[in-house]
Amino acid sequence: MESMTGRLLVATPSLKDPNFDRTVVLLVAHETGGALGVVLNRATEVPVAEVLGKWGSLAGDPAVLFEGGPVAPESAICLARTRPSVKRPSGFHPVSGGVGTVDLSADPESLGDNLAGLRVFAGYSGWSPGQLEEEISAGSWFVFDALPGDAFVSRPDDLWAMVLKRQGGIMAAVAHFPADPTLN
């Protein structure tokens, strides 16, 4: 099995699970024991500072919590992007390139100068062994390479269409698929 860690899962229009309708998920782990990711385009209205204090000053625009997925919504996963040519800070675990997870028990002030972006996700998306591969085979997900800025876009609601459009061809056309085809 080739690891898909660091890749994007983009929900196809046929995926009708309301937890994942038109979502973009960054896989932060994909191993024989299963897969774990966070939904990148579901911002809440809860400021990061309201829940995690000083971490709020490092959060990018919008500086709110994101719904990472339906599993363990009381837990938090923090994604960050390191500045170019900066030594990997303590508590940073790479996912892909300069993007990785950050240990929220660390002191945010010790990391601030090393980070170019930060997002906090309440909950996560998880798959048991083989489950994600079955969903991909069934046509529920497109799998694409992630760009370093995907997890930190300032307009997360536009990410689903943005990722599809940059693929070109028929994938770009899927970006215009109506949310409810019966109303077309």
Is 19 within a domain?
Answer: yes
Residue predicted with more confidence, 81 or 180: 81
Is 159 within a domain?
Answer: yes
Tally of domains within the chain: 1
Is 2 within a domain?
Answer: no
How many angstroms separate the CA atoms of 116 and 114, rounded? 7
Quick one: pLDDT at residue 127? 98
In this model, does residue 184 exceed pLDDT 60? no
DSSP-derived pairing of the beta strands 115-127 and 64-67: parallel
In this model, does residue 168 exceed pLDDT 80? yes
* Token pair of 126 as six digits: 């998880």
The contacts of residue 28 (CB under 8 Å, 6+ apart) are 5, 6, 36, 37, 38, 77, 79, 95, 101
Q: Name the residue range of residue 161's domain.
A: 7-183
Quick one: pLDDT at residue 19? 95
Range 124-149 average pLDDT = 97
Query: What radius of gyration do the chain's Cα atoms show?
Result: 16
* Token pair of 121 as six digits: 């996700």
In this model, does residue 179 exceed pLDDT 80? no
In this model, does residue 143 exceed pLDDT 90? yes
Quick one: pLDDT at residue 178? 74
In this model, does residue 128 exceed pLDDT 70? yes
152: domain CATH number? 3.40.1740.10
Range 161-176 average pLDDT = 94
Residue 112 three-state SS: helix
Report the percent of the chain where pLDDT is more than 90. 79
In this model, does residue 82 exceed pLDDT 70? yes
Is 176 within a domain?
Answer: yes
- For residue 184, the one-letter residue type is N
Residue predicted with more confidence, 35 or 112: 35
How many angstroms separate the CA atoms of 31 and 3, rounded? 6
**Residue range 48-60, pLDDT digits in tens:** 999 999 999 999 9
CB 34 within 8 A of CB 127: yes
| Omega cis (within 30) before 108 | no
CA dist list (Å): 146 to 52, 79, 138: 27, 14, 22
Alpha-carbon torsion 181, 7, 148, 116, what sign? positive
Is 92 within a domain?
Answer: yes
Is 113 within a domain?
Answer: yes
Neighbour count for residue 156 (Cβ, 10 Å): 21
Is 103 within a domain?
Answer: yes
* Burial (CB count <10 Å: 0-12, 13-18, 19+), residue 18: exposed
Is 1 within a domain?
Answer: no
Average pLDDT over the chain reads 93
